[in-house]
Amino acid sequence: MPSKENAKERLTYAAAGVDIDAGNKAVELMKHSVKATYRPEVLGDLGGFGGLFSLMNSKIENPVLVSGTDGVGTKLRLAIMMDKHDTVGQDCVAMSINDILVQGAEPLFFLDYIAVGKLNPEQAATVVRGVAAACAESGCALLGGETAEMAGFYADGDYDLAGFGVGIVDREKIITGETVDVGDVLIGLPSTGVHSNGFSLVRKIIFERMGMKLDDYVPELGMSVGECLLTPTRLYPRPCLPLIRNFTIKGMVHITGGGFYENIPRVLPDGIGVEADVTTWPRLPVFDLLQRGGNVDWHEMYRTFNMGIGMILIVDAADADAVMHDLAKRGEPAYIIGRTVRADKERVTLTGGPFHA
């Protein structure tokens, strides 16, 4: 039974584990970076119950909003272990923005959600500064967000990070993949590393099978294993939006969880498959490290990871050279990695390298 003295004690929200003052401080610390992302369409200021974004000045004749949501996943565990929180914000933005990009949408705005056990204002502000920087690079506004202090739900020091992105596209120009036909060309844009999927397998390989620590230096990586794995997911709006505006892009594929075998068929019409030669692009050293360390079958590697290609464009063969030239002119590396073929069962066939074509 509680003592009479305890029963008379006045409880506060802070005593229950939620510090409103810390939340206010976090907002103040992140305010400048958030405002720096604002586009002219943003109405109002920070602090409202909802973010306002006007479409009145849109020059699109038949506008369609495209939305996507995702999180950073268990990659956050590495950031927490390393106490390095300035890169995961880009992962959060990229996972949603790249997904809406593949439908031809220009990113308009983004919202983030951070859930913590005990709020550290400086840590939260560092995370949001990463989100804001990625929004600025993608041309979208960080329109709003939420920092939820959930005492007793997350352990102190732990947090989760997710986001929600919205873009816009003309209904007549939505990229669906329905016009993809036999003989079209696949152009691959390189990834920056593992990006933000497959980290349950990554952690099992690195920590359990290889017995490594995050600060272990790996010569073939040219950095510590932790630095390599925390390399943020690449943002693809900058290389891809000019192509979407100036060329006919039949299909686009964001290579995330499910790798090549699960993601590519999502944009292919019935009866169409692809053949891709894995020797046509550089396989990043981190994937060789993971494959050896976990003795992972190569099919499983290409079914789980991006293997060095984060985005695929499908174009008519007659347009392939022009698209490649445009990318090269803007300093964007790209590789012709395969073609579409007639296929009823095997929708994705990989050749070359470990596949011994």
Question: Model confidence over 85-105: pLDDT tens digits?
Answer: 999 999 999 999 999 999 999
Of 239, 269, 306, 228, the residue nearest 97 (C-alpha)? 239
Give the phi and the psi of residue 28 in degrees, each rounded to 5.
-65, -40
pLDDT > 70: percent of the chain: 97
Rounded distance between C-alpha atoms, residue 325 and residue 334, angstroms:
10
Selected residue with higher pLDDT from 251 and 49: 251
E strands of the chain, at which residues? 42-43, 52-53, 63-71, 106-116, 141-149, 159-170, 185-190, 217-218, 223-224, 251-254, 272-277, 309-315, 335-342, 348-351
Report the pLDDT averaged over residues 246-271.
96
- The CATH 3.90.650.10 portion of the chain extends over 185-355
* Residue 29 pLDDT grade (very low, low, confident, very high; cuts 50, 70, 90): confident
- The CATH 3.30.1330.10 portion of the chain extends over 16-173
CATH class, range 185-355: alpha beta
pLDDT at 1: 54
**Mean pLDDT of the chain, nearest integer:** 93
CATH numeric code, 16-173: 3.30.1330.10
The Cα diameter of the chain in Å comes to 84
306 contacts 256 by C-beta, under 8 angstroms: yes
pTM score, two decimals?
0.93
Is the model's pLDDT at 50 over the cut of 90? no
Rounded distance between C-alpha atoms, residue 353 and residue 14, angstroms:
58
